[in-house]
Amino acid sequence: MATPSLKDMCRSRTLKVGHFVVEFATPGIGHILKGAGCDFVLFDTEHSGFGHETIKSALRYFEAADLPAIVRVPSKEYHHIARAADMGAEGIMLPMVSDAIEARAILDCMKYVPEGRRGVALGVAHDRYRQGPVLEKLAALNDRIAFFAQIETVAGVENCEEMAAIDGVDCLWVGHFDLSCAMGIPGQFDHPDFLEAVARVARACERHGKACGRLVPDVAQGVDYWNKGYDMICYAGDVWVLQAGVRAGVDGIRDGVGTAGKAEAAKAGKKSKKAGKAKKAKA
């Protein structure tokens, strides 16, 4: 069965689960995540420091694994948006989208004529270096690329309804840390105002048939946000999953050694001290 495109995923309100890549752009990363059961990957270039060459290589790794990739670009500048699209990003995520004017300007950078003003380059990475009729290609590429608008500001929450109504906005994605900071309640994700804000975004997505997403740090929050109306759940990030897994193993070994191990170490220490004293006495 062919893997659904990101556009198709956004048109469905079924559960889609992915993973956040912020550190490990290795050749096997696509197959590793695909083998783990991911439906998509969110590849970060806002905070990661990944350069253009790394993005382009990583997108080939995801293509090889048939794993749809969203690239979060660092700004709303045309060259960040269009270049990620040209390199083959199936989805583009933009941080801090606050109103319909910004959303339409972003779409203008993502889409070819007649839907936008993106500069045309065909037969390159984004169409897998294939030839074909120009008009058909432009239409197909316009239909393929998906726009994920991050709601991370108070204005974004206030204007989420009108943004969800725009044809071409495929998903509203809550950036929980930045949103909590913008609301003056940093990290207080159980605050009533924060919970109302994320509920408001979910309602807007439901009314307009758009996907609703966010990053979650653990399974419990993933299930909780599914129940809150969020259907694109990005489970944790590569750095934190690796660190947590290693920590669990390290702590487990130390705990497993337990009292017996500590007693043995203490006993060895005492023997060493006695031996030291005996040497001093002989001297």
* Phi and psi, residue 234, nearest 5°: -100, 110
Beta partners for 173? 150, 213
CB distance 42 to 21 below 8 Å: yes
- Name 206's Cβ contacts closer than 8 Å, sequence gap at least 6: 13, 212, 229
Residue with structure tokens 């390159």? 124
**Which residue intervals of 145-191 are DSSP H helices?**
154-158, 160-164, 176-182
- Name 144's Cβ contacts closer than 8 Å, sequence gap at least 6: 5, 7, 90
State which H helix or E strand residue 237 sits in. strand 232-237
- Of 47, 126, 191, 208, catalytic: 47
80 catalytic per annotation: no
The set of catalytic residues is 47
